[in-house]
Structure 1
Amino acid sequence: MTKTLATVIRENYSAIATTYDGKWADVLAVHGRAVTDRLDLAAARRVAEIGCGPGRLLSYLERLAPQARIIGTDLTEAMLRRAPARFARVAGDAEALPFAEDSLDAIVMPFVLFHLPDLPTALSEVRRILAPGGCFAAVTWSGHDPHPAYDVWVRVIDEHEAPPDPSPQMPSGAVTSDPVELELALRAANFDPVDITVERFRHRPTAGEFLAHSQVIGSMARRIALLPADRRASCLAAAERELAGLEPEAFTESGTVLYTTAR
């Protein structure tokens, strides 16, 4: 039986939950906090982070919304188990959210929307469960600057004939990376007003951190995992040799993200 994309995403994030809960979750949480600062949550009573992962943002939401019940929702139970236990945690699909109509005052979704196979349905679900006047915030990838270390990593994997990535992870990326298209999608789901700004993203791992992260998370990690053990070991050794010759700045990942708020 063919797996749904939601099942594939759940399986992928289950496999990397421990690694994701390390430094990468902290890197992304910076942007989750920054976009949440644009919401007025002082009087909110029920606030949810959808796609909360290991729950890095939940304590911050608690500070911004001191009167609210804070709820974390994620497709992947392995991620939810890593979130702070004092918060309500609910497993659920963003395209069929487990909340009643008009039940939440605010929803935040950092780095989630591009994963959704049916973005219009998910945005309609968010709109359904927000109370009148409720607010919404999201962060999505937009553009990436040249990244020499990643280019080396991809080339070495290609040279070792790794199969294609079997599980594409950004089916809605073409819409969520474009501020014009994303605004149109939100307005089609009856959000108004919508505010989207382009912000800079910059992450500076060491060579060791880059290689460790790249073996576990992302498309290239899934490709290398498909290689036979001997060729995988050869591929990693070649990558390590070539990456060792790069300057520290070559490992910097930078580009743009979109901060979106809407009502």
Structure 2
Amino acid sequence: MVLFLLLAVLLFPTGEAAGSLLSFFQGKSSGGMRPSHTPIPYMAFVEYQVSEDLFSCVGFLVHEDFVLTAAHCLGKIQQVIPGTGAIRHPDCNGKTWPNDIMLLQLMTADLTDSVSPINLPRSWQKVKPGVCSVADWGQLGVDMPCADKLREVGLKVQREEICITCYAGDPNKRKNSFSGDSGGPLVCNGVAQGIVSCGEEYGRTPNVHTRISSFLSWIQTTVRQYKWQGST
């Protein structure tokens, strides 16, 4: 497999079970998806092919040579930044949403102020109530193309005891994720706490976010294993 991974700077210079799912409500004050006016140096664009159809996802840099994204963003992929493999979580079956997480291994990126990894949470860290954000190049709306500029939206976190459910977003507001949003990070206070995983088409109902802290051990072990293999 060859990976098609385009970091944002190249486009714009400026025991996993129910607890692995985070749920969020979209905040009224977010104003909907809006262009990002500040650099987001960890964002990556992922394009993949299934049969003859091309699809897009979002990913984010968590190491100089690893991007984290959703496991269902897997297919035959072309190359912009040379890649060496896709490592999907072994318990992801492609039919249910738990364990929807995948690491993409790249050739080592040159880290600069414009290209740098995002911090990950501590293992099983809880997400405190507040406003988090999602950024993407996803569809602008029903039957509309993907955005040509990176956009972001604010999300209001539900109470922690509710965050094991698989719903996020307000079904009465059209400010949810669209096609092309999958795999992007849900960022809270500068830390990637979730991965956009699933939701009904056209953002009509709430989304699911994979809880990154539930998979921290797998991420760290996988990165060490593949880096060690690459050095031998």
TM-score by structure 1 length?
0.21
Higher strand share: 2
Q: TM-score, normalised by structure 2?
A: 0.23
Larger radius of gyration: 1
